[in-house]
């Protein structure tokens, strides 16, 4: 009997389901609701695809409806493309008879790839509309994208389809050498502020040449790209102080994704690499962000000057210096997976009025790391002839932000004067006796919060309530701070002279 009863119930359910009218639809009457009336796609470079943006469409009626057509106003010629609830329609441009159930919603995802010639020449905006239905029931959502023109630099292919390569550390990588007589771009060794530059692969600086970056130059690196200054080549970054928040005179190195979502994502490009045969480098008013290693010095020939420079959000190091001679003034580094500043395999370093901070979210990073050894080198140790920090701030989110990796096989000479430093005050290690070791430490402010304005936004300004206020030594003063403000006497510690916090 139970079997007959089960068969009866199954038959009844099948009969009822055949009579359902839940999925009978009526035509849309133009009453759709939208999560936004305009979809703004962030600025993109010409012919580089945008991120994907979302629009939600609601049916708030009691009826299941059929939308006769969802399409881009420019049809198959539109530079936008869509998916509608996972469907691609006709090339992502036109969708027919789309069902939307009562009290339900659907997702539309939009992206674009457009050329500067597609945009309005007066404002460089490329626009279109998503149209829902037509005639009296027509509803529309606007699409807006700013297209930015740029100079594109990339490895070329020969007639056999093989892409250009250059050698870095004995390995072939996708790259090319900048040409001072390029047929399309002219002198590629001078980066101006006329247009942004977008680099694919490694841009190499040829031997016995100098690459120059003029004030206001903007350089965007694609994924796995970078800049390589090879043997007997030089780098000059000639930025200047800016008067507005647009940093109009700063030279900026960053990734090529312009959407706000990518503004602080580390590792979007690789590094600026200085080979051990390069020479005569000067860096002034550079902002570098979102690399793997910001500045990677591999034992260049002579002194490197780094002034008024900011480096943020690097996967490994802000500055990695291998047996390098650096004179650094008004440097700010924050967010690095291993160390904001790492000086390894010896060298000679003089830093004044620098802010080395590290708020990377792990427990193994440092703001400053010093070492006179390097595994795999022959010999493994090399003299650290000098590492001096004057009027600096060395701080971050870990208990200890200062690390000494000393080998007794080579000299290790260092000194901190008038610095604010974060390090566990309970340490019994003789290398970290900040209050009693006068050979290495003088006037150290230990474990006091410098009260930066906003670390998460990389704003390291201080005011007169900071313990770094007026604690510097006049002997080591750099007259102007990182933004060109005049320092008073006694000066503040770090790269910024105290003032009213920025808005």
C-alpha angle with apex 60: 58 to 64, nearest 5 degrees?
90
pLDDT at 6 over 90: no
Q: Say what the pLDDT of residue 198 is.
A: 95
> Exposed e or buried b for every residue in 144-173, given b needs 16+ CB within 10 A?
ebebbebbbbbbeeeeeeeebebebeeeeb
pLDDT at 458 over 90: yes
Rounded Cα–Cα distance for residues 281 and 216 (Å): 19
Measure Cα distances from 465 to 354, 449, 500 in Å. Answer: 19, 10, 11
pTM score of the predicted model: 0.85
Beta-carbon count within 10 A of 412 CB: 21
pLDDT at 3 over 70: no
Q: Say what the pLDDT of residue 48 is.
A: 87
Q: Say what the pLDDT of residue 500 is.
A: 56
pLDDT in tens, 207-251: 999 999 999 999 999 999 999 999 999 999 999 999 888 899 999
Element holding 7 (H helix, E strand): helix 2-18
pLDDT at 22 over 60: no
- Contact status, residue 290 vs residue 266, Cβ threshold 8 Å: yes
Q: Say what the pLDDT of residue 17 is.
A: 46
Rounded Cα–Cα distance for residues 113 and 48 (Å): 6
User: What is the share, in percent, of the chain residues with pLDDT greater than 90?
Assistant: 81
Q: 280 burial class (0-12, 13-18, 19+ CB within 10 angstroms)?
A: middle
Place of tokens 């802010």: 355
Stretch 183-198: mean pLDDT, rounded?
A: 95
Q: Say what the pLDDT of residue 18 is.
A: 43
Q: Where are the beta strands (DSSP E) in 158-232?
A: 165-168, 171-177, 190-191, 197-199, 202-205, 210-214, 218-221, 226-229
Averaged pLDDT of the chain: 92
pLDDT at 354 over 70: yes
């Amino acid at each position: 009997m139970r079997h007959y009863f089960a068969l009866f119930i199954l038959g009844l359910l099948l009969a009822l389901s055949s009579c359902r009218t839940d999925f009978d639809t009526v035509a849309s009457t133009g009453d759709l609701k939208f999560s936004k009336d305009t979809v703004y796609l962030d600025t993109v470079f010409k012919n580089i695809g945008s991120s994907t943006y979302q629009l939600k469409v609601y049916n708030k009626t009691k009826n299941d409806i059929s939308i006769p057509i969802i399409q881009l106003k420019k049809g198959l010629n539109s530079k936008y493309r869509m998916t509608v609830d996972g469907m691609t329609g006709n090339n992502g441009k036109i969708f027919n008879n789309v069902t939307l159930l009562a009290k339900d919603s659907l997702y539309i995802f939009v992206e674009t790839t457009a050329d500067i010639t597609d945009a309005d020449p007066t404002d460089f905006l490329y626009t279109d509309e998503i149209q829902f239905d037509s005639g009296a029931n027509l509803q529309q959502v606007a699409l807006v994208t700013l297209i930015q023109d740029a100079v594109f630099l990339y490895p070329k292919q020969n007639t056999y389809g093989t892409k250009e390569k250059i050698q870095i550390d004995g390995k072939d990588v996708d790259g090319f050498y900048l040409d001072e007589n390029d047929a399309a771009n002219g002198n590629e060794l001078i980066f101006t502020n006329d247009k942004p530059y977008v680099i694919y692969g490694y841009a190499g600086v040829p031997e016995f040449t100098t690459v120059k970056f003029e004030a206001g130059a903007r350089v965007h690196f694609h994924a796995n790209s970078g800049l390589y200054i090879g043997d007997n080549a030089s780098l000059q970054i000639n930025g200047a102080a800016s008067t507005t928040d647009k940093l109009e005179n700063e030279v900026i190195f960053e990734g090529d994704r312009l959407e706000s979502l990518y503004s602080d994502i580390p590792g979007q490009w690789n590094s600026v690499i200085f080979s051990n045969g390069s020479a005569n480098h000067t860096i002034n008013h550079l902002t570098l962000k979102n690399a793997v290693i910001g500045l990677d010095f591999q034992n260049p020939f002579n002194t490197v000057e780094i002034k008024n420079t900011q480096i943020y959000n690097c996967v490994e190091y802000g500055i990695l210096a291998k047996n390098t001679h650096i004179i650094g003034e008004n440097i700010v580094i924050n967010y690095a997976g291993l160390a904001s500043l790492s000086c390894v395999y010896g060298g000679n370093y003089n830093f004044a009025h620098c802010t080395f901070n590290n708020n990377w979210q792990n427990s193994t990073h440092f703001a400053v790391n010093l070492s006179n050894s390097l595994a795999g080198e022959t010999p493994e140790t090399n003299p650290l002839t000098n590492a001096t920090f004057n009027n600096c701030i060395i701080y971050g989110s870990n208990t200890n932000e200062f690390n000494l990796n000393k080998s007794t096989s080579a000299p290790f000479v260092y000194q901190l004067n008038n610095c604010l430093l974060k390090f566990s005050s309970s340490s019994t290690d003789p290398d970290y006796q900040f209050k009693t070791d006068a050979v290495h430490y003088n006037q150290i402010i230990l474990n006091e919060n410098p009260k930066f304005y906003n670390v998460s936004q990389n704003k390291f300004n201080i005011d007169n309530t900071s313990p770094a206020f007026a604690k510097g030594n006049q002997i080591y003063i750099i007259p102007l701070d990182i933004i060109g403000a005049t320092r008073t006497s006694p000066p503040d510690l770090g790269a910024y002279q105290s003032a009213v916090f920025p808005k």
